[in-house]
Structure 1
Amino acid sequence: MHALLARAMKEMFLLASLALLSRVPSTGSTDYEYVWSVLAYGQNRCTEIPKDLELCYGIGYTQMLLPNLLEHEKMAEVKQQAGSWLPLVHRRCHADTQVFLCSLFAPVCLDKPVHPCQKLCESVRDACSPIMEAFGFVWPEMFNCSKFPREENEMCITNNQTKNFEVSERMSCPQCDIGMDFILQNMCTSEIAIKAKIKRMKTENADKKLILQKRVTAIWNKNLSNRELKKLVLYLKNGAYCPCPQLDNMKNHYLIMARKVDQRYLLTGIHQWDEESSEFQKRLDQIKTNKCSEPVFK
C-alpha cells in the first residue's frame, strides 16, 4: 500500500502537482465502489496519450488507462468526447478544470485507478456551470459529483492547494470574450454563424435581446431559411449583468454565432468583422468547411 501511494503521488505531482490522500480502511463496499465496479479494472490497459488528444496531451504524464473512467473503450471515442470540453478549459473558469476532466477522460496509468474527489468535482462544477449556462448547456449527468469519492474515505484527486495558478477575472460576458483562436470552438457550440449589424437591443429580464438589421448573410447555417434569418432575434443570456464591448458600437458588422435553446436563439459568440485581416479571413474559410462532430460541453 505504501509503495502504491508513493508511486501515485509521484505520477500525480506531474499532473499539476496534485495532492493525493491516503486510503482509509473500509469495513465494506461504498456506494462509490459499487458505481465503478462495472469498470472491471483488471481489463484496463495502459496506452500513450496521443498528440491529438488536445485536452490532456502534455498535461504532465504520458500514459493513460483504457477504458477510462467514463467507460470509453476506444481512443477515437475519447478524442471525440474530450475535444468538446476544450472551450471550457480555455474559459479558465477554474484552475483545476483540466485536471478534473483529464482524471476522467485520460486517467493516469497506475496499479489502481485514482478518481477525482467529490469536492474537486463540486468546486469545478460551481465555478464553470454559469459559463456553460450562458451557452445553454447544463452540467452533465456523467459528471454527477455524488458519484465520486469523499476524500476522507478514499484516495482521490483533491483541489490543488500548491499550484500557483491565477485565474484572471473576466469582466465581459463569456459569449463576448472570444479571441480569434477560439472562433472555431465557439462555432461548434452553434447552429448558425452570420454576418450582420445589430439594429437595437433591450434588456429582457436578466438577458439582453438583440434585434438585427434585415441584411443578414449566412456563413454557417444548419436550420434557418433566408426568411427566418431576416427575422432572427438573439438573446445574450445573463447579458444584463455583464458588459459586452462588441455591443458598444452598433455601426459595425459582426460575425455572430448562435444556437437554439428551447424556443430562443442564444448568442454564443460575437466578433468584429474585419475583412482586412488575413487571420480573420482564414477563420471564415475554416468555418465554411469545418465539420463539428458533437456540440461542445455534452
Structure 2
Amino acid sequence: MAHGQKSHRWSLTQGSFSLALGLSLLSLLLLTVSAADEYDYYSWQSDNFHNGRFYTKQPQCVDIPADLRLCHNVGYKKMRLPNLLDHETMPEVKQQAGSWVPLLAKRCHADTQVFLCSLFAPVCLDRPIYPCRSLCEAVRDSCAPVMETYGFPWPEMLTCDKFPIDNDLCIPMQFTGNHVTQPPVSKACPPCDNEMKADNIMEHYCASDFALKMKIKEVKKEKGDKKLIAAQKKKRVLKQGVLRKKDLKKLTLYIKNGANCPCSQLDSLGSNFLIMGRKVDQQLLLMSIHKWDKKSKELKFAIKYMKSHQCPTYHTVFQ
C-alpha cells in the first residue's frame, strides 16, 4: 500500500435484519441505485463523526468520474464521499484506486470489482453498506496468490474479519463457483498474461521499478519460481529505477511461484523482449513481458510515450 496509508479502524455496524423481510441486498441495491441519482447531498444520522474520525464535511453523494477507472462502469453513477476506506477527497480516491485497476484484468475472481468498489466508491444509501465477509474471503482466496506473484501481500486494510458476517446487511457475492457466466481464470503466469495494448503497457511501466528491451538466454526452475537469465548482449534501458550497473551486467529475473505455469512468450527465446519488473527483497521480480514486435503500433506508441509521460505519484498496491 501507499506509504503513510491511513489507519482503517472500522467499527462495522452489526445490526441484523430479519430474513422474513424478504429483502436481499441485491434487490435493495436495484431499488436504490436509480434513486441514488436523485441525491445531490445526504446527511449522516447524527453528525460528521464516523468510524472514529471527525470529517470536516458531512458525507455527500458525488458522481463517479470517468477517470476513476476502477469503478466508473460498476453499475451505478453516484458514490458516497468520504468512502469506506476513509478517503475524504476525490483525488485521494483516484490515487489509491488506480493501483488496483490491473487486478481486474487478471480475472482472478468475478466479484473483484464489486468488492473493491463497495469500499472505494460505495453506493449512496442512508447508511454505509460494507461487503460481506464471505465476499472478501472469496476474492482474497482467488486474488491473493496473483498478487503474491508480484511481491504484494494481501493488504491489512482488507483483512476479511473486519467485515460483517453474511446474516447482516452487507454486499454478498454476485457470482458463485457454479455460476455459468463467471469469467474464466487464466492459467498463464500473471506477468505473461497481458494484452499488447498501450494503456496496459503504460500501467505496468509506471508500477515497475525498471523497464528494459533485452534478450533472454535461458529459463530455469528454482524453488518453485521461474528463473529468467538475461543474455549478455547490450540491453536498452527504458527505465533504470533501482537497477545498478552490476545488476544490468548479470541480470536475473524471477516469476514468483511460476515454476509450473505457462508463459507463451518464453516458448521461443530468439527475439527481444520488453521486460518490466520490481525489486523485492533483493530479488528482481518480473511484472510484465512482451515480445518486442516492431510492427506493433501499440508498442511503438507506448515506447514513445514513455519518454514524456509523468507517472502517478502513488505507490501501487498491485500491478
2:127 corresponds to: 112
Are 1:239 and 2:254 counterparts? no
| Distance of 2:261 and 2:204 partners within structure 1 | 19
Change (3 A) 1:109 1:278: same
Q: Deviations over 1:210-260 (max 9, x none)?
A: 111122111112122344312221111122110111111111100001100
TM-score by structure 1 length? 0.85
Shift of 1:77: 0.1
TM-score by structure 2 length? 0.80
Contact between 1:190 and 1:268, CA under 8 Å: does it hold in 2? yes
Indicate the larger mover: 286-295 or 229-238.
Answer: 286-295
| Distance of 2:31 and 2:143 partners within structure 1 | 24
| Distance of 1:164 and 1:101 partners within structure 2 | 22
| Distance of 2:157 and 2:185 partners within structure 1 | 28
Are 1:12 and 2:29 counterparts? yes
2:218 corresponds to: 200
2:13 corresponds to: none
Change (3 A) 1:124 1:158: same
Contact between 1:14 and 1:60, CA under 8 Å: does it hold in 2? no
| Distance of 1:155 and 1:99 partners within structure 2 | 16
Q: State the AA in 1 paired with 2:171.
A: I
Change (3 A) 1:52 1:116: same
1:29 corresponds to: none
Please point out which of 188, 192, 200 is paired with 2:206.
188
Contact between 1:39 and 1:69, CA under 8 Å: does it hold in 2? no
| Distance of 2:144 and 2:28 partners within structure 1 | 29
2:171 corresponds to: 157
1:20 corresponds to: none
Identical aligned pairs, as a percentage?
Answer: 48
Please point out which of 160, 167, 184 is paired with 1:168.
184
Contact between 1:15 and 1:61, CA under 8 Å: does it hold in 2? no
User: What SS is found at the alignment partner of 1:289?
Assistant: coil
Are 1:261 and 2:280 counterparts? yes
| Distance of 1:279 and 1:161 partners within structure 2 | 34
Task: Note the 1:11-90 alignment, pairs <5 A.
Answer: 12-13=29-30, 37-38=51-52, 43-90=58-105
Q: State the AA in 1 paired with 2:212.
A: I
| Distance of 2:117 and 2:106 partners within structure 1 | 16
Shift of 1:15: 10
Change (3 A) 1:156 1:39: farther
Please point out which of 186, 205, 209 is paired with 2:227.
209
User: What SS is found at the alignment partner of 1:259?
Assistant: strand
| Distance of 1:10 and 1:58 partners within structure 2 | 19
Structure 2: runs of 5+ lacking an equivalent: 1-16, 34-49
Please point out which of 265, 274, 277 is paired with 2:293.
274
Number of aligned residue pairs: give it: 277
Change (3 A) 1:253 1:140: same
2:38 corresponds to: none
Which structure has greater helix proportion?
1
Contact between 2:81 and 2:89, CA under 8 Å: does it hold in 1? yes
Two-structure CA RMSD over aligned residues (Å): 2.6
| Distance of 1:234 and 1:14 partners within structure 2 | 51
| Distance of 2:302 and 2:100 partners within structure 1 | 20
